[in-house]
């Protein structure tokens, strides 16, 4: 059960539409000609085409080529979208890996020294925990934090 490409589907649709238009033109010409045999031929041809279309529908439903499960356009699009997303994610990971490998071996960098304000805040916290909040050491650390805060 192969899927038709867009080009083949378009060709099939144009051919089918052309056949329908030709059939209706034949009906108009046959009825307009006044020839009774032409009307009978067109009616018989219409019946044969309708029976052929009905047989095709029965065959397509029996072989599960058409049916309600196939008339849900959202499922294939989501599957295609998922494939594209997975492919894009794999490509991103590959690019990140290539970028990481191009920088050479990993060398950890030392942490930058803390600034004066952060150091003073840490000293205040340690003094308050060790000596209490009202001790001279905590007061001196608080004054230092105030001075550095501005």
One domain for residues 64 and 121: no
Decide if 35 is inside a domain: yes
Expressed as residue numbers, the domain containing 142 is: 116-149
Q: Which residue has the tokens 């007061």?
A: 139
Q: Is residue 11 part of a domain?
A: yes
Angle, helices 36-62 vs 6-33, to 10°: value is 150
Q: Of the segments 23-27, 101-105, 114-118, 122-126, which one has the largest average pLDDT value?
A: 122-126
- Which residue blocks in 63-73 are alpha helix, DSSP H? none
Number of domains in the chain: 2
Q: What is the pLDDT of residues 6-60, one digit of tens each?
A: 777 788 788 888 888 888 887 788 778 777 777 788 888 888 888 988 888 888 8
Say whether 40 sits in a helix, a strand or coil.
Answer: helix
- pTM listed for this prediction: 0.35
Q: Are 39 and 30 in contact (CB under 8 A)?
A: yes
């Amino acid at each position: 059960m192969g899927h038709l490409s867009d080009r083949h589907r378009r060709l099939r649709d144009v051919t089918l539409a052309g056949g329908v238009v030709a059939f209706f033109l034949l009906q108009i010409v046959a009825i307009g000609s006044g020839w009774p045999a032409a009307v009978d031929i067109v009616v018989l041809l219409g019946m044969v085409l309708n029976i052929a279309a009905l047989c095709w529908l029965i065959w397509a439903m029996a072989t599960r080529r058409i049916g309600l499960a196939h008339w849900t356009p959202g499922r294939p699009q989501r599957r295609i979208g998922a494939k594209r997303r997975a492919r894009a994610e794999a490509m991103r990971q590959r690019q990140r890996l290539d970028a990481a490998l191009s920088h050479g071996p990993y060398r950890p960098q030392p942490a930058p020294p803390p600034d004066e304000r952060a150091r003073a805040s840490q000293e205040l916290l340690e003094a308050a925990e060790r000596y209490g909040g009202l001790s001279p050491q905590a007061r001196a650390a608080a004054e230092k934090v105030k001075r550095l805060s501005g």
